[in-house]
Every structure is written in C-alpha cells, then in structure tokens.
Amino acid sequence: MNEITLEKLGLTKGEVKVYLALNKLGEASIGPIVKDSKVSKSKIYDILQRLADKGLVGHIVKEQKRYYLANDPTAVVDFVEKKENELKTLKGEVQQLVPELKLLRSLSGEKRTAEVYEGFKGLRNIREQLLAELKSGDTLMVLGAPKIANEKWESWFLNFHKRRIERKIKLEIIYNSDALKYGEIRKKMELTKVRYLPNNLVSPNWVDVFPTAVLFVAILDTPIAFLIRNKELAESFASYFKIMWNNSKNQELIYSEKESSLSLTKK
C-alpha cells in the first residue's frame, strides 16, 4: 500500500510515515520510530495517539517501557468501513437539512440574479444544478461549443448527456467548426440537434441558454462561469440563438468549405 492510498483514506503525511515505519519495524520504541519515519520527536506522540484512535496502532509495555506496533493490516479495512458508515450517517443528516435550507433561502427574500463560479468544479457543479432544474421536454441551447472544452472534459460531457437524455431533455448545440469530431458524436444521440458556426468564427468560450437562465463560460487557465438567472434575458438569448441556428451550417457544408479551401491553396 503506497503513501498516496493511505492519504486518500484521510491520514496525514506524518501519520502515513509513522504507520509505514511501524509496519516495517514491528514492535518499536520511540527512538527507532523517529529515525525510520523521519518525523520529529515533538510530534511523534500526538501522531501515535491519532493512529491509535483510528484503530491502526497499538502498544505494549515491557519492563516499564512502551513499545508501539501496527495493528493487523485488516485494521485498515475496518477503518475504511467505519468512515463509510460515518459518511452514510452524515449523508442522511444532510438530506434532512436540505429542505430546511431551501425554506430559509426562499424566506430570505433574496433573489440572486448574477453568480460567478471559478474552476472546473465550480463550472461542473452549476451546470449539474441547472440540468437538475430542467423538466422533461425542455430544451438546452448551447452556442459556440469549443473543441478545447471537449478535449478537456469529454468524459464528463458524455455522462452529462446520458443523464440529460434519460430525463427527456432536448439539446440544440452549435459547435465551432473545428469541433466536427465531437459534433458528429452528439448527432447520434437522441433528442439532439447539431449545427456548426462558420469557419471564421472560432472561440474558446460558449454560452448555455436555459429556460430561465444564461450561463457564460470562459475557458481560461482557470475556467470561469458567469450565471445570470433572468427569464427575460434567457428568452432574449433564445431568440438570438435561433438566428444563429438559422445561419449556422451542417456537417456537409463545413466539409465542402474545407475542401474548397484546400483546392484554392493547392492552386
């Protein structure tokens, strides 16, 4: 078991070093543990106590001297199962708390219209939230879907669309012309229509138009998403999207333009 796996279980770097040292040493007093783990003596007692609390380390006393030892490796599995049970309990408590939080939010009278989300996790979370708010038969419109976004997050997008289709949510998406590969994958999906922007219109950013909100996404080193919750604005962007849809192109036209461009270059 490597250090990264143990850290994923919630152990600190110091706890990992001491735990691995004890597995290597067997029964050991403080001196050898400090030497092998390279953890300072001032911290070793606290770390050993925390490992004992987690059920991973025990001790014995010989001739009035305390020796520490790692418990059977199956204790790690017990520790994981304990964390799983704690998480299940916590999840139940949170689920009971959600209705109360929603009620408090509705009673506050505060209507947020503009929100900013930074990083991929922020973008993913707000897009998932907006998907959850859609009803069967609703249409999500995506304008200017860029190639770079699919290269970064295609696995998430495919999972997103799988759940969208299961909920009978329609999609109309206008890709950048350099994203044909991804557009053609979407064309095979149910409830999905695909078009492409002209070759000279390529941007790393896109716009999601939901029934009552508009999400602007900028693909920077750290992605940023700007959400405006406003039905009138959403309807306005939906009208703009329809204009762009009518002036966008299908796959055949994109290929035709590329072939014409190549022919002119050769001449």
Structure confidence at residue 261 (pLDDT): 47
Distance CA 240, CA 251 (A): 22
Distance CA 181, CA 183 (A): 6
Q: And the tokens for 17?
A: 């070093």
For residue 145, what are the β-bridge partners?
175
- Which tens digit of pLDDT belongs to each residue from 94-136? 888 778 777 766 665 556 578 999 999 999 999 999 999 999 9
Degrees (nearest 5) of the Cα angle 232, 165, 201? 60
Distance CA 227, CA 219 (A): 15
Share of the chain above pLDDT 70, in %: 89
Q: Where does the pLDDT of residue 153 fall: very low under 50, low under 70, confident under 90, or very high at 90 and above? A: very high
Give residue limits of the domains in the chain: 3-71, 77-110, 113-266
Mean pLDDT of all residues in the chain? 87
Q: Averaging pLDDT over each range in 10-14, 124-128, 218-222, which range is the top one?
A: 124-128
Q: And the tokens for 94?
A: 């949170």
Amino acid making up residue 217: V
CATH code reported for the domain at 3-71: 1.10.10.10
Amino acid making up residue 98: V
CATH code reported for the domain at 113-266: 3.30.870.10
pTM as predicted: 0.58
Give residue 135's region: left, alpha or beta (phi > 0; psi -120 to 50). Answer: beta
Beta carbons of 141 and 241 less than 8 angstroms apart: yes
- Which tens digit of pLDDT belongs to each residue from 228-246? 999 999 999 999 999 999 9
Q: With CA atoms as reference, report the closest residue to 70 among 29, 24, 14.
A: 24
Residue of 181 and 93 predicted with greater confidence: 181
- Which tens digit of pLDDT belongs to each residue from 160-210? 999 999 999 999 999 998 899 999 999 999 999 999 988 767 788 999 999
Structure confidence at residue 112 (pLDDT): 58
Phi, psi of 180 (to 5 degrees): -55, -40
Structure confidence at residue 267 (pLDDT): 41
